[in-house]
Structure 1
Amino acid sequence: MSSATSATEAAFAPIVFHWYEAEVAAIAPVTPTVKSVRLRCAIADRQRAGQHVDVRLTAEDGYRASRSYSVASPPDGSGTLELLVEGLPDGEVSGWFFDTAEVGDRLEMRGPIGGSFSWDGPDGGPLLLAGGGSGVVPLLAMLRRRAEVAPEIPAALIFSVRSRAEAIALDELEARHRDEPHFSLFLRTTREGDGRRVDDALVAAALDWTGAPGKVFLCGSNRFVSPTADLIVAAGVPAGIIRTERFGA
């Protein structure tokens, strides 16, 4: 990911290193393996769409565990932000959110983090977004922000998931595809239907929709991001405008 930092991004940097108390405001299931968690905290509404935060839990014996989560919500004035937490086997933090956390529980949070992997309406477009699995979360924040402040900017989302049942916010994304004239969803399921992964034809279709993109954001596992970025570059998009976030193997 690029380390370039604008003056706007720099304005957020000092709060990254300070932990703030946060309170669980709401918890709700999204898919069988993902929960929506609303947290009330002093840093809510300071984030740019696409950024992430660190969450830290402290046990009674003093043991601490922390995890980074992309923020799914754009700044909305509510004093809260939304995380979409995927339950992971033996996950210390995700396991707490899934099995123990209740409204009113307290934890610590710091951020927002991630200067170059963020977007706001004045940053322009068109936008080409590509997410693999839970990598769609920061891109969802960008699409929500775009709908609020710049719905005229063309945007396409390439979304690769194993199955429709595991696709985060699929109902919302398909509604946007139907109702927003300048947005199109390109969904690819890898373990149902024809079981295809993202390929050059899908990238070409997304680029036909957007035209030459001004901003490109990719997020997902290494095995999703690297080949997808290669396909986008091979389609003629300058590598210098592509921003990526990767996780896992």
Structure 2
Amino acid sequence: MPIQPGSSPGPAAPAPGVPATRFAVPGRIAVAHRTAVEWQTATLTEIRRETPHAATFRLAVPEWAGHLPGQHLMLRLTAQDGYAAQRHYSIASAPDDSGHIELTLDRVPDGEVSGWFHTVARPGDTIEVRGPLSGFFAWPGDRPALLLGAGSGVVPLMSMLRHHRARGLTVPLRMLVSARSPGELIYARELGAETTPVFTRSAPAGMPVGRMTAAHVAPLLETQPSDGWEAYVCGSNGFAEHASRLLVEAGQPVERIRIERFG
């Protein structure tokens, strides 16, 4: 997914166990030149169905340099005739030393790459990847985080949540995620008390149905950590603008909202 970053706060150090990076402009973690430009061969090792339209693909990347939660990579498929298709995809897995990363892909109508993954790909297939890319949307695990996502916009946020759990971090983290229905809520089995779901088409009995509103966002900001919240918003252009506006109206400083949009 193409990234359209906005403004950002000051720099912070990476959390223990996260690959070392260097810091460039305030709030943006610099990406190593080699990992950003060199292609590596990845082998598909596992496919897990998440929803009727989304699945997680686990890749073995022996030379993977490590990533920070929220970063993405470039993926390239090359046909036998030499035709190549490239796409940006957020990394769903938390940083670890397993030599594996995970991507969760929605099947996009007429999508060349997502269509291949959902209909053709099998364990043992190889693809090319380069990354990790973009330090703007990365969360090192060092600051209180508000995570707002819609649809597959939950993917980079899940990397943050998984990192928070795996490291036993005590820094506050809260997530608000929007889906059309419970059956289309990606990672539903993994979500816990830190997550509030919003359903726009159908919901369990007793839950309202509709778009994310101020009533969902304002309670997240009622309790302020001493150094404030860092907000991460991921989704379509429409969702990103709507959710960001709700955050600002609830009192979140605009310079502390990071946005990743589907393009």
Query: TM-score by structure 1 length?
Result: 0.90
- 3-state DSSP class of the match of 2:222? helix
- Aligned-pair CA distance for 1:208: 2.8
List per-residue Cα deviations over 1:164-193 (Å, max 9, x = no partner): 1000001101xx31xxxxxx2111100013
Question: Given the alignment, which residue of 159, 177, 181 partners 1:159?
Answer: 177
Partner of 1:72: 92
Report the structure, 1 or 2, having the larger helix content.
Answer: 1
CA contact 1:72–1:137 (8 Å) conserved in 2 = yes
Distance in 1 (alpha carbons) for counterparts of 2:33 and 2:223: 35
Distance in 2 (alpha carbons) for counterparts of 1:2 and 1:187: 26
- Aligned-pair CA distance for 1:42: 3.8
> Which blocks of at least 5 consecutive residues in structure 1 are unaligned?
178-183
- Aligned-pair CA distance for 1:43: 5.0
Q: Which moved more, 1:208-217 or 1:190-199?
A: 208-217
CA contact 1:12–1:46 (8 Å) conserved in 2 = no
2:102 maps to 1:82: yes
- Aligned-pair CA distance for 1:210: 5.9
Partner of 2:133: 113
Question: Given the alignment, which residue of 119, 122, 128 partners 1:102?
Answer: 122
For 1:33-182, list aligned pairs within 5 A: 33-44=53-64, 46-121=66-141, 123-125=142-144, 127-173=145-191, 176-177=192-193
Question: Given the alignment, which residue of 39, 51, 56 partners 1:19?
Answer: 39
Partner of 1:204: 218
CA contact 2:148–2:232 (8 Å) conserved in 1 = yes
Distance in 2 (alpha carbons) for counterparts of 1:155 and 1:210: 12
> Which blocks of at least 5 consecutive residues in structure 2 are unaligned?
12-21, 24-28
CA contact 2:77–2:86 (8 Å) conserved in 1 = yes
Distance in 2 (alpha carbons) for counterparts of 1:43 and 1:146: 24
Partner of 2:239: 224
Q: Which moved more, 1:39-48 or 1:108-117?
A: 39-48
List per-residue Cα deviations over 1:79-103 (Å, max 9, x = no partner): 0000001111111111111111111
2:195 maps to 1:185: yes
Partner of 2:19: none
- Count of residue pairs the alignment pairs up: 238
Structure with greater contact order relative to length (CA < 8 Å, sep ≥ 6): 2
- The CA RMSD over aligned residues, in Å, is 1.8
Could you tell me which amino acid in structure 2 is paired with residue 68 of structure 1?
H
- Aligned-pair CA distance for 1:211: 5.0
List per-residue Cα deviations over 1:44-90 (Å, max 9, x = no partner): 35110000111100000000011111000011211000000111111
- Aligned-pair CA distance for 1:25: 1.2
